[in-house]
Structure 1
Amino acid sequence: MNLTISGHHLEVTPALREYVLTKLDKVTRHFDQVVDVTVILSVEKQKEKDRRQKAEVNLHVKGKDIFVETAHEDLYAAIDNLMDKLDRQVCRHKTKVQDHHHAPLKRQGDNVWEMPL
């Protein structure tokens, strides 16, 4: 699994990197076919009172790319929301991949409808 954590208008500290890794571990526990993960943490400075912390992730799993982004006033809260959304999407993708097998068909004689006379 290739992992890239980068920052836009902010420095990615070892504490932020460790926090992202611990949260990402939950996602990789659910689905082990993760090929590539790119996490971008950024700060948008539009106004001082509306300072927004944004986190986004692009996850490449076998057969699909999953992109999630969130914004919040606190970067750690944005990372929490991001990983919750990502976890839901990965679980949904996992069930879609696993549910492509159909239940075996019952014998044809079992499903015969009888019409009353």
Structure 2
Amino acid sequence: MNLNISGHHVEVTPPMRDYVVAKLKKLERHFDHLISAEVVLSVEKQRQKAEATVHASGANMHAEAVDSDLYAAIDLMSDKLDQQTRKYKEKLRDHHQKQAHKRMAISTRS
């Protein structure tokens, strides 16, 4: 997955970059069809904001989170993206095929 991390009114330090990379690696564990991600970390007075757009095969997912701590905002953002990727992955599964197999098994027994 191509990853682009940038800062708006904040310098992205190596520990911040490593933290974001570690959080987004969890997304790849759940769903391996991720193409790229853009992460923007920003600071405005007392408000720390983390936002990301993840491009997957067939969908684009966006999440943002605001907190007083930048690392907490990154955690919240990654949780939101994780939830979106799990929901998208579930949509891709064909649940109707299982029902058809069950009906075929029942009708052949009769």
Aligning the two structures, in what range does the TM-score lie when normalised by the shorter sequence? 0.7 to 0.9
Deviation digits for residues 54-84 of structure 1, max 9, x if unmatched?
0000000000000000000000000011111
Q: Who is 1:13 aligned against?
A: 13
3-state SS, counterpart of residue 97 of structure 2: coil
Q: Provide the TM-score with structure 2 as the length reference.
A: 0.88
Unaligned stretches of 5+ in structure 2?
Answer: none
Matches within 5 A, 1:63-102: 63-99=58-94, 101-102=96-97
**Residue identity (%):** 51
Higher share of residues assigned helix:
2
Q: Which amino acid aligns with 1:4?
A: N
1:5 Cα offset (Å):
0.3
Alpha-carbon distance between aligned partners in 1 of 2:74 and 2:42, rounded to the nearest angstrom: 11
- Residue 102 of structure 1: how far off its partner (Å): 2.4
5 Å-filtered alignment, 1:14-53, equals 14-45=14-45, 51-53=46-48
Q: CA separation in 1, counterparts of 2:80 and 2:42? A: 18
Q: Distance in 1 between matches of 2:4 and 2:84?
A: 20
The residue identity in structure 1 corresponding to 2:93 is Q
Which stretches in structure 1 are left out of the alignment for 5+ residues? 46-50, 111-117
For 2:75 and 2:37, the matched residues in 1 are separated by 16
Q: How many residues align?
A: 104
Q: Which has the larger radius of gyration?
A: 1
Q: In the alignment, residue 60 of structure 2 is paired with which amino acid?
A: D
